[in-house]
Homo-oligomer: A and B are copies of this chain.
């Protein structure tokens, strides 16, 4: 056990695979992390019970050495930030309309902050990772789909109803494939892992990709990772799939840069492991499509030093969410604000789609 004198927080990351509960001090040191495979726990009640048990364990152990800021919980689902009810958790079956915050708070006897996983990851990278030297950022998380989180001047931007930060559902090709959201040509239809796998199966079925085809035959549950590995080994159809993914990312990010002129855009999530395969076409597209990007990356006529727009990989890997969740209770209340609309605050229903 690590002794600390610094105030700390407990950060929880409930994922589709693991429940992770950690102690993080206010300088960003992770002092201890408890991991439980979610499959072992089965019901939502047992997940919450284990989560609270681990929170209490860690809290007792560290409260003798430092003050507890509070508890932040990252959840991969649509959260009503007002009531703390989970509306939908595609990766956690049976959590539909589940009053998560109430259940957790009742067991702990204290307040907790619930946050969507993509937002929590953005906060983690903002605090300790790729955007730690910036005051604003947008993070795109490449998972099964494409999620995201926006931080403006140190605070998560939830938007009017908590649904802000859905770059995965920006239109990059108005006549592109139909998305689950009802739109055609969403970014996630090109750059999410599901889209990569779908494109690989399509190319194989069309007889255009013999190497992909035999990979699929060997492993019917094959993943985007296999497509990435084949691309890196020089398989042209696999390379084309990642090139298209990069172009879609570049198109979406170029529009974001022209709209928001943020200093840094971060690509995270498991799919960011494919960086080498998609980044070249992504940068090519951004360069061509965003005059704001060019103006902030090419040397100016007067050679004056300028802030540069950066597009970069996430740095904290799968710990981004847990660091971000732990950070939330450390922020002053006016920074961590979640009902932004002045109109009818009592009636605000807050949704945030999961990041997959």
Contact = CB atoms under 8 A, between A and B. Distances in A.
Interface of A: 133-136, 148, 150, 152-153, 157-167, 169-174, 181-184, 247, 251-252, 254-256, 258-263, 288-292, 294-296, 300, 302, 304-307, 309, 340-344, 347-349, 351, 353
Nearest to A292: B163
Nearest to A309: B160
A194 to B, nearest CB: 17
Given A134-B342, A290-B183, A262 B306 contact: no
A297 to B, nearest CB: 11
Q: Which of A136, A172, A260, A344 is packed against the most chain B CB atoms within 10 Å?
A: A260
B254 A256 contact: no
A94 to B, nearest CB: 18
6 closest A-B pairs by beta carbon, nearest first, are A159-B261, A164-B261, A170-B255, A166-B258, A181-B291, A183-B289
A90 B169 CA distance: 35
A220 to B, nearest CB: 31
Given A164-B259, A295-B351, 12 more contacts: A134-B341, A135-B340, A135-B341, A148-B259, A152-B152, A160-B307, A163-B292, A165-B259, A166-B259, A183-B290, A256-B259, A307-B348
Contacts of A348: 306-307
Contacts of A351: 295
A258 B157 CA distance: 12
| Interface residues of A, dominant DSSP | loop
A80 to B, nearest CB: 10
Contact of A291 (B148, B183, B254, B304): B183
A286 B35 CA distance: 43
Given A160-B263, A343-B134, A254 B306 contact: no
Given A133-B343, A291-B183, A161 B259 contact: no
B135 A261 contact: no
A150 B259 contact: yes
Contacts of A158: 261
A133 B160 CA distance: 13
B307 A161 contact: yes
Contacts of A181: 291
Contacts of A251: 171, 174
Contacts of A295: 161, 163, 351
A344 B307 contact: yes
A167 B260 CA distance: 9
A342 B135 contact: yes
A167 B157 CA distance: 19
Q: Which of A150, A259, A304, A347 is packed against the most chain B CB atoms within 10 Å?
A: A259
A258 B161 contact: no
B349 A300 contact: yes
Contacts of A252: 255
B134 A288 contact: no
A162 B309 CA distance: 12
